[in-house]
Amino acid sequence: MYRFESGDIRKIETDLIVVFMCSGMTGSPVKEIEKLAAKLDVFSEFSGKEGELLLYYRPERKWGKRILFAGLGDAGALTKEKLRKAAGKSVRKAISLKLQDILFVIPQTGTAGINSPAAAAAVVEGALLANHDFDLYKTAEKSNRIKSFGLYSKKSADSDVIEAVRKASVVCEGTILARRWVSMPSNDKRPDRFARSIVKAADNENITIVVLDERDLKKNKMNALLCVASGSDAGPKLVLMDYRPGRYEKTVVLVGKGVTFDSGGINLKSSEGLNGMKMDMAGAAAVASIIISAARINIRKRIIGVLPLVENMPSGKATRPGDIVFASNGKSIEIGNTDAEGRLILADAMCYARKRYKPDVMIDIATLTGACMVALGEKIAGLFTKDDALAKALLDSAAEVNERCWRMPMPDDYAEKLKSDVADIKNIGKGRWGGAITGALFLSEFAGDCTWAHLDIAGPAYTDSSSDYCTPGGTGFGVRLICDFLERI
């Protein structure tokens, strides 16, 4: 898919050369480009501001077919995110022109404190992530895709650049895998099909996968999980993915909410509320993709994915509001609302994970509450943890990859809202307010004394609009974030 190039840039076969430029910079470390730009009088039309593009077709006799200048804004204020966006924008431009191959000139970013492996990786991330459209179900107009791209530097690329690019490309592939699962309609990813699709995707990796079915879940007394699945004809599954490298010091458990469709159950959602509820398995999609990516880049930690997969439907067999179930740890839960199903399946999944794997760290990723979207909007995930070091590591990763998270409070007294008159706990908080917090506090009852964090990704898991490197559909949110985190801790 990608290659490294060096030498005389004019002789390289490609459909499009992309040159990044900062505001007011007329020079280039590639002298041929500098001369060409002067001849074409590029800077009378192009200032290099962020988001700006200028395309030339057959710029000169000795040159290839096309050259695109892409603006990065002020050199001193350059960030990796600006590089991703400029690379993504260039790829979308190339896709619209139906081109096959692009050559990126790796920009010099030392003045902004970005080293060359990081700069090259950022360009690759923007390019690969932009090169995806969910067109699996279109029979007539398939979107064009870039087939291959090159990374050009004056001298041949150093090994640290090559390694950074390899990692970035694996993690972006993982992100796109998650996007595809999330964008897929619910009729093609009911728990059984989704589980098989995960098994297939992880097939060639050093990952042990076991899929527990309804009988196994009953044996394990996972009634909180089972009561969510009971309204659907599709049986529940619990997918266990175990990536275990030869040597490791830490065990990390990742739990992903996998509701393949959330109708709300007997507390049926409104027509508007039902829209988009195919994405309610985005946590599970992210976790499966993270484990596959982690295996491919040989992360030196044991990483376990625990994915409860269910469909939340109303029927004569469905759980009713007011029902009481006993979770696998023996706690009784009053079902206040069947639409607060995510925390029920996660409760049993987390109890199982803690007991079986005794992790050093556990993180759950879930499209848990609309309330979190009200608080933080569509682009920022809620981060809940009582552990400051874990919060810091996750926030550092979030800044690094620009998958934004905001730490939310978990005040003890709010847990009173979850009190039930008839059971140990209720699955909804009293009153309208603080729904994202009570959701997290409910989960904390099942995390025990484990070092644990909860990511509410209800907002950023899905997008209806295009941005520079993400088209409408699943966003794959969490994959780049957690892959970075796993390397960091």
For the bound state, the minimum distance from the C-beta of residue 257 to ligand BES, rounded and expressed in Å, comes to 8
Is 377:352 a contact under the CB 8 Å cutoff?
A: no
Amino acid at 474: G
Contact string (CB under 5 A) for Zn ion, positions 226-265, x = contact: ---------------------------------x--x---
Name which of 108 and 463 has its Cβ closer to ligand BES. 463
Active site annotation includes 269 = yes
Name which of 173 and 262 has its Cβ closer to Zn ion. 262
**Helix/strand/coil for 238:** strand
- Closest to 441 in 3D by CA, of 407, 417, 468: 417
Tokens of residue 421, six digits: 């008159």
Residue 371 interacts with, from ligand BES, Zn ion, none (CB under 5-8 Å by kind): ligand BES
For the bound state, the minimum distance from the C-beta of residue 450 to ligand BES, rounded and expressed in Å, comes to 23
Name which of 88 and 264 has its Cβ closer to ligand BES. 264
Strand partners, 3: 150
Considering only residues 308 to 337 of the shown chain, the ones binding ligand BES according to CB under 6 A are: 337
Give the Cα separation of 229 and 276 in Å (integer): 19
For the bound state, the minimum distance from the C-beta of residue 339 to ligand BES, rounded and expressed in Å, comes to 4
- Closest to 223 in 3D by CA, of 296, 320, 330, 307: 330
CA 348 to chain centre: 24
Residue 472 interacts with, from ligand BES, Zn ion, none (CB under 5-8 Å by kind): none
**Helix/strand/coil for 276:** coil
Contact string (CB under 6 A) for ligand BES, positions 183-222, x = contact: ----------------------------------------
| 324, burial (CB in 10 Å: exposed 0-12, middle 13-18, buried 19+) | middle
For the bound state, the minimum distance from the C-beta of residue 268 to ligand BES, rounded and expressed in Å, comes to 11
| 395, burial (CB in 10 Å: exposed 0-12, middle 13-18, buried 19+) | middle
Considering only residues 361 to 400 of the shown chain, the ones binding ligand BES according to CB under 6 A are: 367, 369-371
Amino acid at 67: I
Site membership for ligand BES, residue 484 (CB under 6 A): no
Give the Cα separation of 419 and 84 in Å (integer): 47
Pair type for strands 381-385 and 405-407 = parallel
Amino acid at 181: W
For the bound state, the minimum distance from the C-beta of residue 280 to ligand BES, rounded and expressed in Å, comes to 4
Site membership for ligand BES, residue 339 (CB under 6 A): yes
Name which of 16 and 259 has its Cβ closer to Zn ion. 259
Active site annotation includes 343 = yes
Contact string (CB under 5 A) for Zn ion, positions 302-341, x = contact: -------------------------------------x-x
H/E element, 200 = helix 191-201
Give the Cα separation of 354 and 450 in Å (integer): 8
Is 46:72 a contact under the CB 8 Å cutoff?
A: no
Is 23:48 a contact under the CB 8 Å cutoff?
A: yes
Name which of 153 and 312 has its Cβ closer to Zn ion. 312
Give the Cα separation of 73 and 81 in Å (integer): 12
Catalytic residue among 65, 196, 269, 430: 269
Considering only residues 395 to 434 of the shown chain, the ones binding ligand BES according to CB under 6 A are: 428
Contact string (CB under 6 A) for ligand BES, positions 452-481, x = contact: ------x-----------------------
H/E element, 190 = none
Is 312:227 a contact under the CB 8 Å cutoff?
A: no
The number of residues that bind Zn ion (CB under 5 A) is 6
For the bound state, the minimum distance from the C-beta of residue 280 to Zn ion, rounded and expressed in Å, comes to 4
The number of residues that bind ligand BES (CB under 6 A) is 14
* Chain residues in the site for Zn ion (CB under 5 A): 259, 262, 280, 339, 341-342
* Chain residues in the site for ligand BES (CB under 6 A): 262, 280, 337, 339-342, 367, 369-371, 428, 435, 458
| Catalytic machinery residues | 269, 343
